[in-house]
Amino acid sequence: MMMKDALISTITSFAPEAPGTHAIVGLWAFSIVVFTLIFAVVVGIIVYSLMRFRWREGEPDPEQIAGNKKVEIIWTVIPFLIVTVLFALTVRTMGLSDPPPAPEPDLIVIGHQWWWEVQYPKSGVITANEIHIPVGKALSVRLDAADVLHEFWVPELARKMTTVPGHPNHIWVEADKPGTYLGVCSEFCGTEHAWMRFLVIADPPEKFAEWEKAQLAPATPPTGEAAQGLALFKQMSCVNCHAINGTPANARVAPDLTHFASRTQFGSGIAANTPENVRRWFQNPQQVKPGVLMPNFKFTDEQVNELVAYFETLK
Amino acid sequence: MNTKQFLLSAWSWNPLVIAAAVAALIVYWIFCRDRQRMGYLVAALAVFLLALVSPINALADGYLFSAHMLQHIFLLLLVPALVLLALPREFTLGRKVLAHPLVGWLAGVGSMWLWHAPALCNAAVSSRPVYATQTISLLLLGGVFWWQVIAPREEDRLSPPAAVVYLFTACTACSALGIILTFSPVTVCPIYMHVQDSLGLLNTIRNDWGMTPEKDQQIGGLLMWVPMCAIYLFAILAQLARWFSHSRTEEHAR
Amino acid sequence: MNQPSAALPHHGILSLEQKMHWRIAWISTVDHKRLGILYMLTGLFFFVVGGIEALFIRLQLAIPNNKLIAPDTFNQLFTMHGTTMLFLVVMPVMFGLANYFIPLQVGARDMAFPRLNALGYWLVPFGGILLHFSVLAGGAPAVGWFAYAPLNETPYSSQLGVDYWALALLVMGIGSVSTSINIIATVLCMRGPGMTLRRLPLFTWINFVNSFIVILAIPVLNAALVMLLIDRRLAAHFFLPSGGGSAIMWQHIFWAFGHPEVYILALPAFGIISEVIPVFSRKPIFGYEFVAGSSVAIGLLSFGVWAHHMFTVGMGRAADTFFAFSSMLIAIPTGVKVLNWSVTMLGGRIRFTTAMLFCIAFLIQFTCGGLSGISHAIVPLDWQTKNSYYLIAHFHFIAVGGIVFAVFAALYYWFPKISGRMLSERLGRWTFWLMVIGFNMTFIIQHVLGLAGMPRRVYTYPDLPGWGWMNMVSTIGAFFMAVAALVFVYNLINSMFRGAPAGDNPWNAWTLEWATTSPPPHENFHALPPIHSRRPLWDLANPDRPDPVVGPHGKVDAVTLEKNKTGVLAFILSEAGFFGVLILAFLFYNANPQPGPGPKELNLLKTGIFSLCLFASSFTIWRSEVALHREQHRMMKLWLALTILLGGIFLIGQGLEYWGLFKSGISVSSNLFSTTFFTLTGFHGIHVGIGLIVLLIVLAMALAGDFEKKKSTALEAVSFYWHFVDVVWVFVLTVVYILPRLR
């Protein structure tokens, strides 16, 4: 059912890969059994009545039974007991699947219209839309929003939680197995809510450490056509929104591009990070992702080539 | 002091409270001796002791606002209601003072609001006499409130539809306070912010139980809002049952 | 069984004479039956509109990465679909049914306030036009039907769509409140002889209970909308975190309305089911008292569970736990109802009419929807399923499988009474099966999609394994439902003219609406049958085994209250809800002192003096009433004039206070203190102003001698309102002027 190595896997809340989501699925299983039993009782009564008590022309009306107090009390008390049991399990599972946050977050995720900013406060790494985590380590995540409400949801790894401007929230994220897990924004947040997807990439600790080290390095100064691209980047208003470490660009309005080329997708999941797709983006981002806050700069073909060349160097 | 030690040791064996409970039992035994309704009295006394003797009392005494709220609900809503139910059905107080539903309504809602004014709430924790006054006033005012609904004699009660309105408005008024307590970013009862840790329990409460003062007040507000409303709701449904069962008793009158 | 009435006075819905003046007959009508029909037709029209919107949504989602509809258009479509279906379809249709059948079921000639009834209806098309006008004014709202802050604020939705949306909901909300006041007054004051409260048919009883939910819940929405409009138009920051406001507050206020709203839509459906199942099972409802009582329980609980819509916004463990419990409690009265309906069929003689088929489908679909609802109260499950297609599936099981199916049952059941002709049962069966198959195709699969991680409100989705075909199935199902709706509309139009004549009581039903002709004459009844039980027509048809007599003509239930006072009291209850929210908002936003203007700018002494004038006016209006009672008409006019004078002085005082604040540069948007201050005192001032206008009208009536000729309750009703306005000021004075000084 799962294709963890493929870039795009099925995501599902029924295939837990973390202790928290395991607890939730356990409660699911129990609830479904309870629901099925209740449903069977109701449908049983209905189907039995339909088969047994049909009206035929000319028959007199049946005995007029108006109720039975004892029966009513029984079927008030039994649901109450069921509810009590479900409530007790709810409280227990809430504790298991959502422990209180750590004093300092390992990861800060900030929802923007329509992308995710990812900060690792302990190492200082800042990236976007692709969250790398070490396997088997629970990370305390602080969720924040820059503009409107968003919602952070990685069904396999954690409960979902809204990101609220001015009201930081916390969750724990953990992956038991290495792989790429799909995440989405599940709170409607405007035009491109559909394309506010992200990836959680769980790597073995060594590989994660390597990734972290690579991310910390500033962008290498480009040469040739790519250097033209950097000049263009500085000269146009790109720097008002984007940051690239090692260049004067340090704005935090839009995704950090220092290691753009190391990501597999861009535009929050709307396209794979290939030179052709990046080219299309520069030609007119509004064509690729209508409504995105990046305007169409109407670059010439030459300029686009330079920018694409430069972005390819941002490993 | 950890949780276990606390639960074992923090019982407040207040002689006055015990004496009051024993006296109530004796008075009931001498004057009423209604075996069928005795259960209600026992339940009333059990809740009474739970509120004032059990560790809830120790927590309410300066540690946790939510425990204080629990006490409040027990004393105002549960104990007087159970006592009224325990009384023999012919018992009446005459119809002078308690006759007007507005008096009962104000007694019930007013005591809830008044004792949560920050000054009074603080005083009730820091001063013994005020605390005693609070306890007695809650019990009495609770009795006045419930009298309109479950007075022993049918004639002393409101008609069921009127009782539904009475209870519903009271529930709304208390929920409003609960909502304020739940969402208020400031403390309503500041004394619980600065705990005098006489039992050495504070560490357990803050760390083991994870009860911050903010969370504590939120739980207090929620207690007042949700379970308290559930009590009113139950009473409202009981009134409807009373109303509909009237129709049953006169079934074959035609 | 069919006794076509020989003396049927009308042919179809209109008599010949009425047909000639149809414009006057329909546009200026105050007759509850016609208004009921207008309500239902309006609902049907918007059902088609909302349905088409739904089809476009499903078309766009049929395949992955679809480019059929632009993202913003898609977002507008689902916002309009939700808003339309809730406020312009279900509510009008339910109000239409209530309007048509409550007076008939209680044996009344009309609603308590026929003209108010017409107002309530006409506000619906007005609201509908306002909402859709936004399309011409730069685009429909694209924020979802609950318009979460801060996306609903100007910085993120700068076009006028949200403003039109808020205005439309305000207008329709006022209409809903007026209609509900009317229903309450009708049930309390207009019942025919012998129709005690305990003998009410369940449809009427449940609508009566529901009306209380409406008048308490809608003002909460109105308060939220007013605050939103102040934010958007006057640059305030109630819900804008960047200005110190709270985005979560919008959710609290909205859902404090929104969850009761769910029951406002569902309860009338319960009422319909409680009428139809017994008739086609040939048995009385099982446990009338429990069905009636559980409706009250649901109504009360509905106000204490709203935060379960917010388990994922980070309210904290404590709040999540409490609301999980209260939400689960709702399952109990609902379960009791479902079991009562099911057991009513047990031991009956079930007739498979289309109406009954829809009821049976309702029972099964609604049970599914209810159970998936419990899974949302189980907080950890909600943490996975909230805002996913699982949630969409859940509430469509309630909204379509529950409410729409019940409406179909109601229309097949009552159409003969309304039109005098039967709907085609053959076409009815087509509608039923197409609908049930289409519905289940559309929505069962959405549970799976939601669990597979598909969030709601996405205009497209990547081609993940399984997602494509599942969405395709769902889309095909939607078209089945569309065909079902077409068949139904055809059946409706065809049967209107060519249906078999219905006779007075085609189903051998037992409630009073079947005791008159189909369609009923203008005055509803020529004579009422004797009423001793809940099924007067059963007693009539079965004199050998009548139902047990229900209740005596007891003190309480036989009392019919005075309708003007009842109406005003219900209105006051509703207004209290509105001010309650504004006062709570004031307390919340001013709990901590904030930079900028604060309570220190206010002059307690001056306001105190003006307040005394207002409080004194309560006394003077009371004296005026006493004078009227003693028939001292001159004194009465004097006291009334004095009341108006005192009220006027208060308003002038408030005006001076505002002027002073404006001069020192304080406006609505200065900070949250000034925003909440002007909002709260401003709305109170508006209410005083309205009270003054009404008092002036009463004074004019008095001067014209109206009170001398006949006993009028106008003064009494107005004085209730006036006292209420004064009581509100007691709270405002305490909260705004006095409390901050005690700190």
Give tens-digit pLDDT for B201-234: 888 888 888 888 888 888 999 998 888 988 999 9
Per-residue pLDDT, C122: 96
Give tens-digit pLDDT for B97-120: 667 889 899 999 999 888 888 888
Considering only CB atoms, which chain C residues are within 8 Å of A290?
Answer: 70-72
Q: Are B237 and C198 an interchain contact pair (Cβ–Cβ within 8 Å)? A: no
Number of Cβ atoms within 10 Å of the Cβ of C324:
25
Give tens-digit pLDDT for A141-195: 999 999 999 999 999 999 999 999 989 999 999 999 999 999 999 999 999 999 9
Q: How confident is the model at residue C595 (pLDDT cuts 50, 70, 90)?
A: confident
- DSSP 8-state assignment for residue B78: I
Q: Are C252 and B183 an interchain contact pair (Cβ–Cβ within 8 Å)? A: yes
Nearest CA in chain C to B184: C588
Considering only CB atoms, which chain C residues are within 8 Å of B246?
Answer: 551, 554
Per-residue pLDDT, C3: 43
Neighbouring chains of C at 3+ CB pairs under 8 Å are: A, B
Considering only CB atoms, which chain A residues are within 8 Å of C545?
Answer: 64
Q: Does A70 touch chain C (CB under 8 A)?
A: no
Per-residue pLDDT, A254: 93
* Interface residue of C63, C381, C460 to substitute, partner A, most A CBs within 10 Å: C381
Q: Is the pLDDT of residue C4 over 70?
A: no
Report d(CA C642, CA C635) in Å as an integer.
10
Per-residue pLDDT, C596: 85
Per-residue pLDDT, B125: 85
Note the pTM of the prediction, 2 decimals. Answer: 0.93
Find all residues with CB under 8 Å of C613, minimum gap 6, and list them. C646, C647, C649, C650, C653
Element (H, E) at B69: helix B65-73
Considering only CB atoms, which chain C residues are within 8 Å of B249?
Answer: none
Residue C488 near residue C408 (C-beta atoms within 8 A): yes
Asked, as a colleague might, if the bond just before C9 is cis with ω within 30 of 0, I would say no
Q: Are C296 and B236 an interchain contact pair (Cβ–Cβ within 8 Å)? A: yes
Q: Is the pLDDT of residue C711 over 90?
A: no
Considering only CB atoms, which chain C residues are within 8 Å of A45?
Answer: 339, 342-343, 345-346
Q: Is the pLDDT of residue C557 over 60?
A: no
Per-residue pLDDT, C279: 96
The count of CB pairs under 8 A between chains A and C is 284
DSSP percent split of chain B into helix, strand, coil, nearest 5: 75, 0, 25
Q: Are B246 and C580 an interchain contact pair (Cβ–Cβ within 8 Å)? A: no
Give tens-digit pLDDT for C465-519: 899 999 999 999 999 999 999 999 999 999 998 999 999 999 999 999 999 998 9
As a whole number, the mean pLDDT across chain C is 91
Report d(CA C533, CA C595) in Å as an integer.
66
Asked, as a colleague might, if the bond just before A114 is cis with ω within 30 of 0, I would say yes
Number of Cβ atoms within 10 Å of the Cβ of C498:
9
Q: Does A59 touch chain C (CB under 8 A)?
A: yes
Q: How confident is the model at residue C559 (pLDDT cuts 50, 70, 90)?
A: low
Q: Are strands A130-134 and A198-203 parallel, antiparallel or unpaired?
A: parallel
Mean pLDDT, to the nearest integer, of C692-719?
Answer: 85
Nearest to B254 among C197, C293, C549 (CB): C549
Reading the block at residue C399, the tokens are: 């909204």
- What is the three-class DSSP state of A112? strand
Give tens-digit pLDDT for A127-152: 999 999 999 999 999 999 999 999 99
Between C556 and A132, name the one with better pLDDT.
A132
**Worst-scoring range by mean pLDDT, A194-198, B28-32, C175-179, C533-537?**
B28-32
CA distance C447 to chain B (A): 31
Nearest CA in chain A to C290: A72
Q: Which of C168, C174, C176, C92 is nearest to C137 (CA)?
A: C168
* ipTM of predicted complex: 0.94
Neighbouring chains of B at 3+ CB pairs under 8 Å are: C
Q: Does B159 touch chain C (CB under 8 A)?
A: yes
Between B126 and C457, name the one with better pLDDT.
C457
Averages of pLDDT over each 10 residues, chain A, 315 residues? 37 71 89 94 94 88 89 94 95 89 94 95 94 94 95 92 94 92 94 95 94 92 90 90 90 92 92 93 93 92 93 90
Rg over alpha carbons for chain A, rounded to the nearest Å, is 27
Nearest to B226 among C252, C326, C532 (CB): C326
* Interface residue of C209, C246, C322, C569 to substitute, partner B, most B CBs within 10 Å: C322
The count of CB pairs under 8 A between chains B and C is 86
Q: Which of residues 100-159 of A touch C (CB under 8 A)?
A: 113, 147-149, 151, 153, 155, 159
Q: Are strands A107-112 and A139-145 parallel, antiparallel or unpaired?
A: parallel
- DSSP 8-state assignment for residue C501: B
Nearest CA in chain A to C277: A46
CA angle C30, C114, C704 (to 5 degrees): 105
Three-state helix/strand/coil letters over C89-134: HHHHHHHHHHHHHHHHHHCCCCCCCHHHHHHHHHHHHHHHHHHHHC
Q: Are A188 and C148 an interchain contact pair (Cβ–Cβ within 8 Å)? A: yes
Per-residue pLDDT, C297: 94
Nearest to C293 among B183, B240, B253 (CB): B240
CA distance B106 to chain C (A): 15
Q: Is the pLDDT of residue B44 over 90?
A: yes
Burial of residue C625 (number of CB atoms within 10 Å: 0-12, 13-18, 19+): middle
**Exposure string (b/e) for B146-168, b if CB count within 10 Å is 16 or more?**
bbbbbbbeeebbbbbbebbbbbb
Report d(CA C281, CA A53) in Å as an integer.
9
Nearest CA in chain A to C546: A64
Reading the block at residue C416, the tokens are: 């003969």
Query: Residue C388: what are its φ and ψ, rounded to 5°?
Result: -110, 175
Q: Does A259 touch chain C (CB under 8 A)?
A: no
Q: Which of C376, C369, C256 is nearest to C305 (CA)?
A: C256
Q: How confident is the model at residue C321 (pLDDT cuts 50, 70, 90)?
A: very high
Mean pLDDT, to the nearest integer, of B26-32?
Answer: 86
Give tens-digit pLDDT for C414-447: 999 999 999 999 999 999 999 999 999 999 999 9
Residue C503 gets the label, from left (phi > 0), alpha (psi -120 to 50) or beta, of left
Q: Are B175 and C304 an interchain contact pair (Cβ–Cβ within 8 Å)? A: yes
- DSSP 8-state assignment for residue B90: T
Q: Are C300 and B233 an interchain contact pair (Cβ–Cβ within 8 Å)? A: yes
Q: Are B244 and C296 an interchain contact pair (Cβ–Cβ within 8 Å)? A: no
Per-residue pLDDT, B9: 83
Q: Does C314 touch chain B (CB under 8 A)?
A: no
Q: Is the pLDDT of residue B35 over 50?
A: yes
Nearest to C346 among A45, A72, A76 (CB): A45
Per-residue pLDDT, B209: 84
Q: Are C346 and A53 an interchain contact pair (Cβ–Cβ within 8 Å)? A: yes
Q: Does B184 touch chain C (CB under 8 A)?
A: yes
Q: Does A265 touch chain C (CB under 8 A)?
A: no
Q: Is the pLDDT of residue C23 over 70?
A: no
CA distance B145 to chain C (A): 20
Considering only CB atoms, which chain B residues are within 8 Å of C301?
Answer: 233
Residue A139 gets the label, from left (phi > 0), alpha (psi -120 to 50) or beta, of beta
Nearest CA in chain B to C581: B176
Give tens-digit pLDDT for C328-376: 999 999 999 999 999 999 999 999 999 999 999 999 999 999 999 999 9
Give tens-digit pLDDT for C607-663: 999 999 999 999 999 999 999 888 888 999 999 999 999 999 999 999 999 999 999
Residue B202 near residue B63 (C-beta atoms within 8 A): yes
Q: Is the pLDDT of residue B253 over 60?
A: no
Q: What is the DSSP string of C308-365?
A: GGGTTS---HHHHHHHHHHHHHHHHHHHHHHHHHHHHHTTS-B---HHHHHHHHHHHH
Q: Does C592 touch chain B (CB under 8 A)?
A: yes
* Interface residue of C334, C378, C451, C471 to substitute, partner A, most A CBs within 10 Å: C378
The residue length of chain C stands at 743
CA distance C329 to chain B (A): 9
Element (H, E) at A110: strand A107-112
Query: Residue A310: what are its φ and ψ, rounded to 5°?
Result: -65, -45
Per-residue pLDDT, A9: 43
CA distance C237 to chain B (A): 18
Q: Does A164 touch chain C (CB under 8 A)?
A: yes
